[in-house]
Homo-oligomer: A and B are copies of this chain.
Amino acid sequence: MALGVKKPFTEVIKANIGDCHAMGQKPITFFRQVLALCSYPELLEDNKFPEDVKNRARRILQACAGGSIGSYSASQGIELIRNDVARYIERRDGGIPCSPDNIYLSAGASDGIMTMLKLLVSGEGSSRTGVMISIPQYPLYSAGLAELAAVQINYYLDEAKCWSLDVKELRRALEAARKHCRPRVLCIINPGNPTGQVQSRQCIEDVIKFAAEENLFLMADEVYQDNVYAEGCQFHSFKKVLFEMGPEYSEKVELVSFHSTSKCYMGECGFRGGYMEVVNLDPEVKVQLTKLVSVRLCPPVTGQALLDLVVNPPQPDEPSYATFIKERSHTLAMLAEKAKMTQDILNQVPGISCNPVQGAMYSFPSIQLPPKAIAEAKEKGQAPDMFYCMKLLEEKGICLVPGSGFGQRDGTFHFRMTILPPTEKLKIVLAKIKEFHQSFSEQYS
């Protein structure tokens, strides 16, 4: 946009990135209080802070060398926190055991994902490692694979069936890829980004069977595990399903699952906290993994501390419990409300079709674009949905991401929009998109 040119809107509303606090989501008080005490331990003497906040801060500080969050931690992460993560996973998965030795703390999930890809990719030419990723995908994967010169193998999610994953499509993609690379890794994002679907238990079982048959290493990106909104939908971890399938699978299939402090009700992206759990990783490969993470010394300790609070939140008998539950429930309830509102309003617009936003923080509706608009975009050298999104930004001040940034079936067009703007703002966003889509369709009809 040219500087100083007057635009027909008063503010730009960003619905393009999953950046919760940037869009007004409030941090959890308990988390931030403990972090303040860890930063400046003199506050442990301050009567203003509840006892559980102080206890938690003391516990974290005692686990830090020299009692300071300014010390390096072990490269795999602080042991106490890895223990807490393991217990959290056991609770989440109904008691299936989890060893802290299998937990690696990371700087957000992206750091863990890049580390695992680096570990798993090798070979040259037609024996180069192939990595299967969903289309649409979260661009971290394509960028990471390009950085590592790995072979990207696309499998398509089924938009007609609410972006579900079909093993037949996995098989098609795998067979085709075998001709030019050595497929070894299968990445899944559940709940889905950018597509917002929540995988059924049956589907996860099918995927695990497929991975077992084809000797694929499963990478399960489960950072939205607490972001499930739709009736009848539930988050099932790959780890839990794997172990419920019995030793034939649970002792064989290699799996890594990623989690993060950046999403869910926390939304603490800036802290770069996260972990990964590896299952059935060859002990010698694990030694290499530990070497690999040690090059960067350690994940940020403040992120580790925050993660500890996420996996070990206030308990019912503690003073911060009531506020914690209230804040968490409120954030999740607002997200559920906005997920519903988004799909409802978008589906009222002729030419826009939006699958239910079952989970995560995004809608990924398909948009019908008139042939004239497609032609004009091509003239400009732009993807048609990029052309659409740029016009939307210019005319309405709404910032979305075109579907072409995530990949989509040829001839289809989409945008990704977060459900993060506050309710009243989200209503405005949706109304403006409606208006815009109608006028755009008319203009190019």
Interface residues of A (CB under 8 A from B): 17, 19-25, 27, 32-33, 35-37, 39-40, 43, 46, 48, 64-66, 68-73, 107-108, 110-111, 114, 118, 140, 143-144, 147, 266-272, 291-292, 294-303
Contacts and interface: CB of A to CB of B under 8 A. Distances in A.
B70 A269 contact: yes
Contacts of A110: 295-297
B22 A270 contact: no
A107 B267 contact: no
A27 to B, nearest CB: 5
Contacts of A301: 270-272
Contact of A70 (B17, B64, B267, B299): B267
A267 B65 CA distance: 13
A270 B40 CA distance: 14
Given A65-B19, A65-B22, A143-B295, A300 B107 contact: yes
A69 B300 contact: no
Q: Name which of A48, A118, A292, A300 has the most chain B CB atoms within 10 A of its CB.
A: A300
Given A36-B40, A270-B71, A271-B302, A65 B21 contact: yes
Contact of A40 (B23, B33, B143, B298): B33
Given A21-B66, A40-B33, A296-B111, A270 B72 contact: yes
A104 to B, nearest CB: 16
Contacts of A48: 46
A302 to B, nearest CB: 4
B270 A300 contact: yes
B271 A66 contact: no
A297 B20 contact: no
Contacts of A292: 147
B270 A70 contact: yes
14 contacts: A22-B65, A22-B71, A23-B66, A68-B270, A70-B271, A71-B270, A72-B270, A73-B270, A110-B295, A118-B147, A269-B297, A270-B301, A300-B300, A302-B303
B72 A22 contact: yes
Contact of A71 (B19, B35, B37, B118): B19
Q: Name which of A17, A69, A299 has the most chain B CB atoms within 10 A of its CB.
A: A69
A300 B303 contact: yes
Given A21-B66, A27-B70, A143-B295, 17 more contacts: A19-B65, A35-B39, A36-B37, A36-B40, A70-B266, A71-B270, A72-B269, A107-B272, A107-B300, A110-B297, A270-B300, A270-B301, A271-B300, A272-B300, A272-B301, A300-B300, A300-B302
Q: Name which of A21, A39, A147 has the most chain B CB atoms within 10 A of its CB.
A: A39
A32 B21 contact: no
A25 to B, nearest CB: 8
A420 to B, nearest CB: 10
Contacts of A64: 270
B114 A296 contact: yes
